[in-house]
Amino acid sequence: MVNRAAIRETYGCIRPYVRRTPTIEVDGDDFGMGGVRLVLKLELLQHTGSFKPRGAFANMLAHRIPAAGVVAASGGNHGVAVAYAAMKLGEPARIFVPTVASPTKIERIRGYGAELVVTGERYADALAESERWAAQSGALAVHAYDHEETLLGQGSVGLEFEEQAPEGVDALLVAVGGGGLIGGIAAWYEGRVPIVGVEPELAPTLARAMEAGRPVDAPAGGIAADSLAPRRVGELMFPLAAQWVERVVLVSDEEIRAAQEALWKTLRVVTEPGGAAAFAGARRAGFGKRVGVVVCGGNTTAVDFGRA
């Protein structure tokens, strides 16, 4: 069961391995959003530059790891996180990534000592390959979003956020790819705070699922394709979203890029497109006076000190 008690228990297991990322409260005026207070959860400061290690450690600490180690498929950040967690726990890892993965992420996976297999154009192709290999080798498959432990681990972002913003928020905005992060957070809050999903217009997995009443295939493109563009949301997250995600906002690639620029210019926070998507959604009006935003990833090649 993915619920509050299980998330708390999982958090107790993974806490020694993850950073408790800070929140910062900023004035919406700074970003042209008058009258709004923003509470930003800076989860991009997590190990490996995204929230994904929470789920990776949750999986690996919940199971005995076979001799073949672990295997994962990933648009990038999950692969990096599994490689990192395997390194920390001293286990072998093999990571399948689609060709769309960013060079930064590929470099990191290699840097953590995992075996890297670049295969197929989209996440789904890499996933199919990884499943074949898991069946053949006996390696433990760590799913990017559609495992109970993954949801429990990502849900700890909600647990921390509530401790850091105990007075609550009028809405908490969370980017959606496969839905592991928002599913876990929704399960943590159980409706006590309105959870809003934010997706790229070009990768509307949760929006399409909500329309259809079940996970269905959606386009998987756009500027955040390396992190927010699996083909569909997970089966496990969908009932959580259906019950507790208040709505889904779609943002354009231009809005995501503008959000990246604004977060850097005004707050000195560097995000990847998927990491800025929830903030892009928050810039739309109508979420209330006090708005929470999970800033969930910072793996970009936009930084080069050699040119400063």
The reply to whether 264 sits near its own copies by the rule CB under 8 A is: yes
CA gap 6, 231 in Å, rounded: 28
Pair of tokens at residue 49:
């530059």
Please state the closest distance from residue 195 (CB atom) to its own copies, in A. 23
- Using CB under 8 A, which of the segments 65-73, 173-181, 231-239, 293-301 binds its own copies? 293-301
- Using CB under 8 A, which of the segments 6-14, 19-27, 165-173, 285-293 binds its own copies? 19-27
Size of the site for its own copies (CB under 8 A): 33
Please state the closest distance from residue 300 (CB atom) to its own copies, in A. 5
Q: What is the CA radius of gyration of the chain?
A: 18
CB 92 within 8 Å of CB 68: yes
Interacting positions 45-74 with its own copies (CB under 8 A): 45, 47, 49
The reply to whether 106 sits near its own copies by the rule CB under 8 A is: no
The reply to whether 302 sits near its own copies by the rule CB under 8 A is: yes
CA gap 84, 65 in Å, rounded: 15
CB 298 within 8 Å of CB 275: yes
The residue from 26, 61, 118, 128 that contacts its own copies (CB under 8 A) is 26
Backbone angles phi and psi of 278, in degrees to 5: -65, -40
The reply to whether 308 sits near its own copies by the rule CB under 8 A is: yes
SS3 per residue for 231-297 = CCCCCCHHHHHHHHEEEEEEECHHHHHHHHHHHHHHHCCCCCHHHHHHHHHHCCCCCCCEEEEEECE
Q: What DSSP state is assigned to residue 166?
A: T
The reply to whether 20 sits near its own copies by the rule CB under 8 A is: yes
Question: Judged by CB, which is closer to its own copies: 38, or 220?
Answer: 38
Residue 291: strand pairing partners: 38, 171
Please state the closest distance from residue 50 (CB atom) to its own copies, in A. 9
CB 43 within 8 Å of CB 172: no
- Using CB under 8 A, which of the segments 1-9, 180-188, 211-219, 296-304 binds its own copies? 296-304
Contacts to its own copies by CB under 8 A: 19-26, 30, 42, 44-45, 47, 49, 257, 260-261, 264, 267-270, 272, 298-305, 307-308
